Structure formats: structure tokens, C-alpha cells
Structure 1
Amino acid sequence: MRQPGFVDPDERYQLLSENGDPLVKLAALIDFEAFRPKLSTALKRSDGSKGGRPHYNPVLMFKILVLQTFYTLSDTATEFQSRDRLSFMRFLGLGFEDAAPDRHPG
């Protein structure tokens, strides 16, 4: 029996994959980066010269909308799940140290 200790994230991700994580399959089927030009054009954001909160990656936000639709989640539930679930973190490309987008500005 293994001693309890620090958990290797790669081992956890491997176990999720072996158990049929549907988000791995989805990410393999869809090239989300292909949507970046259209998303960037549609969002037309300010250049940030006047300050304010930095913008989130448009592909990340699109993937969050996919998760909300796929799992029928509210903004609040999506925020929580994006911080809590390894499968969501991997799908979104977030590490443990990365902040997940939140529903509140500031």
C-alpha cells in the first residue's frame, strides 16, 4: 500500500483519461484555437491603455461556455467547478496555480 503524501497531478490526469474523461475526447475532436480569430474579432476589446482588469483569453472563455452548455451549469457553478474539478482544469488549460475566471469584476 502506498504511503499517503503529495499527489502527482499527472497520475490523477492519467486515471481520469483511463476512466473515459469525455472532455479529453472533446478536446481531441475540436481544435478550439481555430476559433481564436473569429472570437477576437467578435469581442473587439479595448487596448487596456486606460487600465482596468486584464482580459481573459477568448478561447478560454469559449471553452467555459462549452462546459456550461455541456454540463448545464450556472456562472457560479462553473466558477466553482473550474477551480475544483481536475477534468475541467485540464480542459481549460489551467494549472493549480492559475486563477479561474470569476463571475464578478474586480
Structure 2
Amino acid sequence: MDPKSLFSLSDHLEALSKEGDPLEVLQETVDFEYFRAWLVEGLGYGDGAKGGRPPFDPVMMFKALILQAQHNLSDARMDFMIRDRLSWLRFLGLSLG
């Protein structure tokens, strides 16, 4: 057995779910897609004709702002917490890769 992989990623996420991950409850309770049209309109996303890097998904960024406000985090600390917590990655729809 590889000592660096005691549990698989799916085992970790399953354990978080069994313990009652509050972000899963929030995800099931709130339809975040409902806000997408307002977010896109409010952010004034262009059509991409000028090129450049595509913007992050507005719903994902909205969810990140909710987490940041709940935990009173700076931008730098928020970046760290997203990278550190599997439950936050899952809530935001991000992968480890």
C-alpha cells in the first residue's frame, strides 16, 4: 500500500458528506444557477471578440464571494483556503488538477 495515499479522493469526499458537509446542504438548498443571468449582465462580460483569457465562471465566483464573506477572509487567504479545503473545491465545482 502506498503510504502517501491512505484514502482516495472519493473516500475523502464521501467521509465529508457522511459527516454533514454544510456546503453540500447549501448547494442542495440554493439554486445558484438562478443568479447566472444577473451576474453575467452585472459583470458586463464581453463576447470575447477582443481575445484574452476567458473569465472565470460567474456563478463559481459568486459562490467564492459567499464563502469569503462568511469567513471574513482576505483575497490571499481565500486563495489559500480554496486550495486547502476539499469541501470548498467541491462546492465551487473545481477539481484538484
- TM-score of the aligned structures, taking structure 2 as reference length: 0.88
Q: CA RMSD in A?
A: 1.5
What SS does the corresponding residue of 1:90 show, helix, strand or coil? helix
Partner of 2:3: 4
Identify the residue that residue 14 of structure 2 maps to in structure 1. 14
CA deviations 1:31-88 (Å, max 9, x no partner) are: 1111101111111122222222221110011000110012111111111111111010
Higher relative contact order (CA 8 A, sep 6+): 2
Structure-2 residue corresponding to 1:102: none
- Alignment-derived partner of residue 49 in structure 2: 49
Following superposition, the deviation at residue 8 of structure 1 comes to 1.4
Using the size of structure 1 for normalisation, the TM-score is: 0.82
Farther off after superposition, 46-55 or 70-79? 46-55
* 1:94 alignment counterpart: 94
Shift of 1:5: 4.5
Structure with more of its chain in helix, by fraction: 2
- Residue of structure 2 in register with 1:104 after alignment: none
Number of aligned positions between the proteins: 96
